[in-house]
Amino acid sequence: MTLLQTSGCLRIDRAREVRIFNSKVQMMGTTLNVYAYIVDGMLIDSGPHRMRKGIEYFCTQNRLDKIVHTHFHEDHTGNTGYLMRKLRIPAYIHANSIDICQEKGIIPVYRLVFWGNRRGFTAEALPSIIENDHSTFKVIHTPGHTQDHVVFLDKEEGQLFSGDLFVHPKTRVTRRTENIPLLMESLRKLLQESFATVYCAHAGKISDGYNLVKQKLAHLEDLQDQVLTRFNKGLGIKMIVQEIFPQTPTIAYYSFGEFFFV
């Protein structure tokens, strides 16, 4: 009887084990890491189209019954249409992005070169709670990076799948379309939750995740103070940027200004 119970627990533990896919893109002096995860039959983000073969292999080596997305960007949704057809599984994304994902991505050339494009797919709206065979995930809306961004929290395991919400404790560059004050609000909301390990789409597994999310918020609050202090002294935007961010990051050139310093 004991043996049977032990073996049952083992099966559940293995089902809840986080499987990790990782690949890199190197171009023009920039290296970008991509991570995708499978946990308890759920693929979290399908990676960029350029990594299709690797992602497909990863998916066929693990039990898979659905794809969920943290947001609509092409490096998170690039293989969804293909995998849905091939494996006959459903996909879910925030309700705000279902229409965007029906169509092929409209993205700048440098991102097409980096990631490849997203083919259109028909997703369903993410529920607020995802019930898998052996695990339950809370879906938390965390806008800022994009309006549809969500993270997936397994409260029981203390594991958070954070998409592009975290990436680095000291954010160095941001896109023009990002809303940093809103992202800060999302970080504050997230810090009300209990978790330890963070699984990031570009930084991988972070064991000290909660504290690093806290550090990221503190860093952004410090930057906000620096900007406001200068603004209240009467400095214009150009002068504030020159004082706080004296160097232009390489990505700002080849993204034609889509990326700039935070």
Residue ranges in contact with Fe ion by CB under 5 A: 73, 164
**Minimum CB distance to Fe ion smaller for 11 or for 170:** 170
Taken as a whole, the chain contains a residue count of 262
Tell me how far apart the alpha carbons of residues 204 and 35 are, in angstroms, rounded to a whole number: 6
CB of 75 to Fe ion, least distance (A): 6
**Minimum CB distance to Fe ion smaller for 69 or for 73:** 73
Tell me how far apart the alpha carbons of residues 32 and 105 are, in angstroms, rounded to a whole number: 20
CB of 70 to Fe ion, least distance (A): 8
Tokens of 223: 């930057």
CB of 54 to Fe ion, least distance (A): 19
CB of 27 to Fe ion, least distance (A): 17
205 backbone dihedrals φ, ψ, rounded to 5°: -80, 130
**Minimum CB distance to Fe ion smaller for 155 or for 202:** 202
CB of 205 to Fe ion, least distance (A): 19
Q: From residue 36, how far is each of 6, 19, 234 by CA, in Å? A: 30, 8, 45
**Minimum CB distance to Fe ion smaller for 154 or for 164:** 164
**Minimum CB distance to Fe ion smaller for 32 or for 235:** 32
**Minimum CB distance to Fe ion smaller for 40 or for 45:** 45
Residues 6+ apart with CB under 8 A from 44: 36, 37, 38, 68, 69, 70, 152, 161, 199
Residues 6+ apart with CB under 8 A from 126: 68, 69, 92, 93, 94, 95, 139, 150
**For the chain, counts of helices (H) and of strands (E):** 10, 14
CB of 76 to Fe ion, least distance (A): 6
**Minimum CB distance to Fe ion smaller for 73 or for 119:** 73
> Which position has the token pair 């559940």?
12
CB of 258 to Fe ion, least distance (A): 12
Per DSSP, which regions of the chain are E strands? Answer: 18-27, 30-39, 42-44, 66-68, 91-93, 124-125, 129-131, 136-141, 150-154, 159-163, 173-175, 197-200, 204-206, 259-261
To the nearest 10 degrees (0 to 180), the angle between helices 52-60 and 80-87 is: 40
